[in-house]
Amino acid sequence: MTDNSRNPRRTFAIISHPDAGKTTLTEKLLLKGGAIHLAGEVKARGDNRRARSDWMKIEQQRGISVTSSVMTFERNGITFNLLDTPGHEDFSEDTYRTLTAVDSAIMVIDAASGIESQTLKLFEVCRLRSVPIITFVNKVDREGRDPFELLDEVADKLALDVCPMSWPTGMGGQFEGIYDLTRNQLHQPEGDSKNYDGKAQQFTGLDDPKLEEVLSPEALTRLTEEGELAQGGYASFDLEAYRNGDLTPVFFGSALKQFGVEELIEAIAEHAPPPRPQPAEPDPIQPDSSDVTGFVFKIQANMDPQHRDRIAFMRLCSGEFKRGMKLIPSALGKPIAIHSPILFFAQDREIADTALPGDIIGIPNHGTLRVGDTLSEKNQVRITGLPNFAPEILRRVILKDPTQTKKLRKALDDLSEEGVVQVFYPEIGANWIIGVVGQLQLDVLISRLSAEYKVEASLEAAPFETARWINGSDEILNAFANINQTSLARDRDDNLVFLAKSAWDVGYQEERNPEITFSATRER
For ligand G4P, give the closer residue by CB, 18 or 277.
18
Was 368 annotated as part of a binding site?
A: no
Q: How far is the CB of 95 from ligand G4P (least distance, A)?
A: 13
For ligand G4P, give the closer residue by CB, 26 or 509.
26
For ligand G4P, give the closer residue by CB, 118 or 278.
118
Q: How far is the CB of 135 from ligand G4P (least distance, A)?
A: 15
Was 339 annotated as part of a binding site?
A: no
Q: How far is the CB of 387 from ligand G4P (least distance, A)?
A: 24
Was 140 annotated as part of a binding site?
A: yes
For ligand G4P, give the closer residue by CB, 254 or 513.
254
Was 359 annotated as part of a binding site?
A: no
Q: How far is the CB of 111 from ligand G4P (least distance, A)?
A: 9
Sign of CA dihedral 99, 104, 110, 116: positive
**Residue of 98, 484, 458, 157 whose CA lies nearest to 313:** 98
Sign of CA dihedral 476, 481, 487, 489: positive
DSSP helix/strand/coil, 182? coil
Strands in 9-16's sheet, in edge-to-edge order, are: 70-75, 78-83, 9-16, 104-110, 133-138, 247-252, 161-164
For ligand G4P, give the closer residue by CB, 255 or 497.
255
DSSP helix/strand/coil, 264? helix
**Residue of 72, 121, 116 whose CA lies nearest to 95:** 121
Q: What are phi and psi of 121, to 5 degrees?
A: -60, -45
For ligand G4P, give the closer residue by CB, 24 or 404.
24
Was 85 annotated as part of a binding site?
A: yes
Q: How far is the CB of 438 from ligand G4P (least distance, A)?
A: 15
Q: How far is the CB of 118 from ligand G4P (least distance, A)?
A: 10
Distance CA(252)–CA(254), nearest Å, equals 7
Distance CA(242)–CA(253), nearest Å, equals 20
Q: How far is the CB of 21 from ligand G4P (least distance, A)?
A: 3
Was 18 annotated as part of a binding site?
A: yes
Distance CA(296)–CA(298), nearest Å, equals 6
Burial 305-328 (b: 16+ CB within 10 A, else e): eebebbbbbbbbbbbbbebebebb
Was 19 annotated as part of a binding site?
A: yes
Strand partners, 488: 498
Residues that bind ligand G4P (CB under 6 A): 16, 18-24, 87, 138-139, 141-142, 254-256
Distance CA(516)–CA(478), nearest Å, equals 11
Was 21 annotated as part of a binding site?
A: yes
Was 157 annotated as part of a binding site?
A: no
How far, CA to CA in Å, does 293 sit from each of 20, 256, 361? 35, 39, 12
**Residue of 335, 268, 320, 332 whose CA lies nearest to 290:** 320
For ligand G4P, give the closer residue by CB, 144 or 364.
144
For ligand G4P, give the closer residue by CB, 154 or 256.
256
For ligand G4P, give the closer residue by CB, 141 or 452.
141
Name the DSSP class of 469.
Answer: E
**Under 8 Å between Cβ of 298 and 397:** no
For ligand G4P, give the closer residue by CB, 23 or 302.
23
Was 366 annotated as part of a binding site?
A: no
Was 443 annotated as part of a binding site?
A: no
Residue at 3: amino acid letter: D
Q: What are phi and psi of 135, to 5 degrees?
A: -100, 135
Q: How far is the CB of 154 from ligand G4P (least distance, A)?
A: 17
User: Residue 372, by phi and psi: left (phi above 0), alpha (psi -120 to 50) or beta?
Assistant: left
CA dihedral 218, 222, 225, 230 (to 10 degrees): -170
Was 22 annotated as part of a binding site?
A: yes
How far, CA to CA in Å, does 510 sit from each of 477, 480, 504, 517? 13, 11, 10, 7
Q: How far is the CB of 445 from ligand G4P (least distance, A)?
A: 23
Distance CA(463)–CA(135), nearest Å, equals 41
Was 17 annotated as part of a binding site?
A: yes
DSSP helix/strand/coil, 270? helix
For ligand G4P, give the closer residue by CB, 90 or 141.
141
Q: How far is the CB of 113 from ligand G4P (least distance, A)?
A: 11
Q: How far is the CB of 257 from ligand G4P (least distance, A)?
A: 6
**Which residues are documented as binding site?**
16-23, 84-88, 138-141
- Point out the annotated binding site for GTP: 16-23, 84-88, 138-141
